[in-house]
Amino acid sequence: MDQAQLPVFSVLPQHVGIIMDGNGRWAKQRGLPRYKGHIEGAKTFRKIGEFAGDLGIHCLTFYAFSTENWKRPPEEVAAIMDLFREYLRELDDRKAENEEKGIKVNFIGDRTGIPRDILAMMAHSERITRKKDHVILNIAVNYGGRQEIVHSVRELAKEIEKGRLKAKDITEQMISDHLYTAGLPDPDLIIRPSGEYRLSNFLLWQSAYAEFWYSDILWPDFTEADFTKALRAFEQRNRRFGGV
């Protein structure tokens, strides 16, 4: 979008988390197989990601595939994995453009069980964007908030086993420093479309003081105007962080 046409805000969140929900229902409403909804949802992901970057939002985390999503029908999981492959190839094709925009790509989650070719493409995307920091794009793949906290605690437990750390010295910051999002600001705003009102195991630790914005719109139908509404709502929130 042309910079002159972009909406202007008095305050923007530094970090926005987005739960991309409703792809399957979108397809079902149209009598289509569920994977068709994921194809449309992937288009929305690209559109909203670019729009948010243009607005100047520093960090975005998209919930793409949860640890629980492996329970879905095999053909649906296979279709989602194919979409990952397509997106990763596109990232490589748009390397120069993304470099100009200063986009850094991170994949957060447990990489166990992800096909090897996808793992290789993920590592390549992270490697070629690692020096950028204008827009941090986190894509949560095989991600679960509880699993992430367990991962952090295990890393600290290793330090205790080695005698480098005492249990009584563990702090909140130490746990944060061993999460997948270490070094990034906690999300200020969590957006969930599709009419559901829950976190679904997304950024549980990091969302302690996040603002939430919900919508009945299914993710494939989510537009830049809807994203703007969420940001306008955030603009009006009085964030006291437990104070007065």
- What does the alpha-carbon distance between residue 121 and residue 88 come to, in Å, rounded to a whole number? 6
- Strand, coil or helix: what is 18? strand
Tokens of 192: 């969930």
Query: Who contacts 81 (Cβ-Cβ below 8 Å, separation ≥6)?
Result: 115, 118
Concerning whether 69 is annotated as a catalytic residue, the answer is: yes
Q: What tokens were used for 24?
A: 């399957």
The three-state secondary structure class of 66 is strand
Q: Which of 69, 110, 201, 221 is catalytic?
A: 69
What is the distance between the alpha carbons of residues 16 and 26, in angstroms, rounded to a whole number? 23
Rounded CA separation 91/62 (Å): 16
Query: CA-CA distance, 195 to 189, in Å (whole number)?
Result: 17
82 is catalytic: no
User: Measured between alpha carbons, how far is 225 from 199 in angstroms, rounded to an integer?
Assistant: 23
Residue 214 carries which side chain, given as an amino acid letter? Answer: Y
Kindly list the catalytic residues.
Answer: 21, 69
